A and B are shown apart, each in its own frame.
Chain A
Amino acid sequence: MIARHGNKPLTNRSLTIATHYSAASRLAPLLGLIAFVLVWQLLSLRYPPFILPGPGSVAARLIEKLADGSLVIHSAATLSAAIPGLILGTLVAFALGVPIAKSPLADRLISPFIVASQGVPFVVVAPLLFIWFGSGLQAKILVCAMVVFFPIAINVIAGLRSTPPVLRDLFRALGATPSEMFLKLELPSALPFIFAGLRVGGTLSMIGAITGEFLSADRGLGFMINLGNGLYDTALVIAGVLTTVLIALAIYSAIRLAERALRVERWAE
């Protein structure tokens, strides 16, 4: 379901199917949510609240944390690592992805490191970053950037390599300079890929920031979840997870909006 509509244009045929099922397909997410909450409620009746609290008590915890302002403070702390981490990860993804896509030498030189970096367990490396950069925001941003950069880099590379050869010939025949070739052809051609990478990276950025906060933090959603864990306050843990999911969805939607604003759907033929 994710991004299906972003990658394929709505042709006449899919449009008629869409209108035919539109009532059902619009209600589907809502129905799914209601079913989820119902099953959750039923299950929670069978267990004590420190194992599985019901939706009601989690909602109460959320409202309480919202009211005393701590949820906003924790969310802001997490976002202050996630967003710069996403930006830094994106910059690194471009800084490495562009040369890899354009030069076979850079590909052979850098790619092994990039692939190897994905074999590194972040939870193990993150403490090193805290030792090197202190337990502050910088280390959190770095953990986040590490998590985020890979899907974006892979898509930047695939996107830049996806330029149709006939368009390359055309630009060469028209005497395009290397920078024109990049800015007016390769980069715009790659946009659908780059946005696909950003959507994945954007949602991962919350995971990156929270991983960082799990290891060392005095505020943030990761800290709050960790705290709830320690206190057997399971309702607080679930409230924290729900908030994280909602923020990740918001980041995803913001990236989708940017993609719509650029009208990337025109790319699909």
Chain B
Amino acid sequence: MLFADRISHTYPNGVQALREFSLQVARGQFVAIVGPSGCGKSTLLRIIAGLLQPSAGAVWLDGARITQPSPRIGLMFQDAALLPWRTVEQNIRLPLELGSKASRQSSHHGHPSLASSIAPLIQLVGLSGFERAYPRELSGGMAQRVALARALITQPPVLLLDEPFGALDAMTRENLTASVESILRATGTTAIMVTHSITEAVFLADQVVVCSPRPGSVVGSVPITLPRPRTWAMESWPEFGALVGRARELLGRTAPVV
């Protein structure tokens, strides 16, 4: 279980990004955080990832406090962040090459067995046939699929997604969200995603958390009761519309929706 306990963060320039933000995510659960621009969503993810120390509060993963990056937490950004001089396959393997031997062995998952498991992973994310392509030859959606495979290769129990579909066109976006939904369901990965899109949040999540404008704190949350596997056909269900409406209503309480 992942537990963010009353996280507050103020940047050195005096901007308070988060105020007593608390979040509890059960194993295998998908939580989406929606909120207005600049509500500290990305700051929260950086703190959970161990990339940033909060001014106050703590993050716990299965009882251990997170103070630095851990191989147990995978990351996906809005930018695919691929190394342009590496092929698709070499980019996906990157996490296996980094970090001291000691820290790699202390992670809960044995890497040697993973090295051979890249082919099924490439197939899982739909990149078969592109193993030797370079990032500049890929579309935005394909690049994000590489980033997803790279995040999953160490089989992290937790995946953090920072607006991973934000830079994609609508069609690619629907396609990729559906892939992510089925892949995370198949791997049982716990996921926390921040997004601007309420529809996307409702489509993917078990729970949608709405946060307030800066300094960000939790306004409320909406449990998503839609069955899995999710399909975009559900978007026309009255239930889907009602859930989107409830999230939007919570968001509207915090600030005018722009």
Contact = CB atoms under 8 A, between A and B. Distances in A.
Interface string A226-269: 00000000000000000000000000000000000001001111
Contacts of A169: 46, 51, 75, 77, 81
11 contacts: A166-B81, A167-B81, A167-B83, A169-B77, A171-B98, A173-B50, A175-B99, A184-B94, A184-B97, A185-B83, A263-B85
A188 B69 CA distance: 23
B71 A175 contact: yes
Nearest to A9: B136
Interface in A176-201: 176-177, 180, 184-185, 188, 191
A180 B46 CA distance: 21
Nearest to A188: B85
B223 interface: no
Interface of A: 9, 164, 166-167, 169-177, 180, 184-185, 188, 191, 263, 266-269
Given A166-B79, A188-B85, A266-B85, A172 B51 contact: yes
Contact of B134 (A166, A177, A266): A266
A173 B73 contact: yes
Contact of B136 (A167, A172, A185, A266): A266
Contacts of B99: 174-177, 180
* Chain B interface, DSSP helix/strand/loop, else mixed: loop
A174 B81 CA distance: 13
A191 to B, nearest CB: 8
Contacts of B71: 174-175
B95 interface: yes
Most chain B CB atoms below 10 A, which of A169, A170, A171, A267: A170
Nearest to A176: B98
Contacts of B97: 180, 184
Most chain A CB atoms below 10 A, which of B46, B85, B135: B85
Given A173-B49, A184-B94, 18 more contacts: A9-B136, A167-B81, A167-B83, A169-B51, A169-B81, A170-B81, A172-B51, A173-B69, A174-B69, A174-B71, A174-B94, A175-B98, A175-B99, A188-B83, A191-B85, A267-B84, A268-B136, A269-B135
